[in-house]
Amino acid sequence: MNKLFYISILVIIFSCKTEKPKVVEDKLEVTTDIANLEKEALAAYAINPLSALPLFDSLSTACEKANNLAKQAITELNMANIYDEHAQKFTRANYHAHKSLAIWETLNDTMQMANLLKYSGYINGELGNFEIGKRQIDKAIEFYNIKNFEEGKAVSYFNMARVIFLEGNYKSCEQFFRLSKSYWLKKNNVGRVIPINDFGIKLYSKLGDDKMVEKLKLENQALLNK
């Protein structure tokens, strides 16, 4: 055999053998980077949620590059929650919630789409986009019906009540307040009933129903003393 030809074959074989471990190594490195970023972001969140935002943003970018779309969607929702709950920056919360929803739509994950629609509906209510918010929550309820997921519907009813309350339609709000509370009472979920009652106190104050306000206050006190 021609010596040069033989050497060429060895070079090709050697190249093939070294290429595969490099790909595996790259994937391992990306996975490690994502795990480290997530760990750092969660640690920062535990100390100061707002300080974790840049880390979650980097984590989202890393997930997108690695085509880990599910984790990216969860990360975008985490950022939305931080802007919503810890900064009351609802425009930013809506931006990240929309990104998360778009990813779940790409993945055709009906349950996660419902979760995001339920949440985005409330955020749009905070932004004064009442009709958009109500349509999103209606769609979430439709998806939960398909999945036969009653808990998701109960949370959706409460979010609908909050949007309608912000809209100022207090009488219509009462219907969804009762639907949500009824479910959690059946489940004996005190952690859910108390904040719903707190909301009910605000609602019945607006409706001028002092008896219901007092009833809900006493009910919460009894639940807290259990």
Closest of 51, 78, 49 to residue 63, by C-alpha: 78
Q: Residue 33 and residue 21: Cα distance in Å, rounded? A: 18
Q: What is the pLDDT of residue 127?
A: 99
Contact predicate 110/102, CB 8 Å: no
The predicted-structure confidence for 114-159, as pLDDT tens digits, reads as follows 999 999 999 999 999 999 999 999 999 999 999 999 999 999 999 9
Residue 1 has pLDDT above 90, yes or no: no
The predicted-structure confidence for 160-192, as pLDDT tens digits, reads as follows 999 999 999 999 999 999 999 999 999 999 999
Residue 38 has pLDDT above 80, yes or no: yes
Q: Residue 23 and residue 27: Cα distance in Å, rounded? A: 6
Contact predicate 174/158, CB 8 Å: no
Query: Considering the chain, what is the average pLDDT of its residues?
Result: 91
What residue type is 44 in one-letter code? A
The predicted-structure confidence for 104-116, as pLDDT tens digits, reads as follows 999 999 999 999 9
Q: What is the pLDDT of residue 16?
A: 45
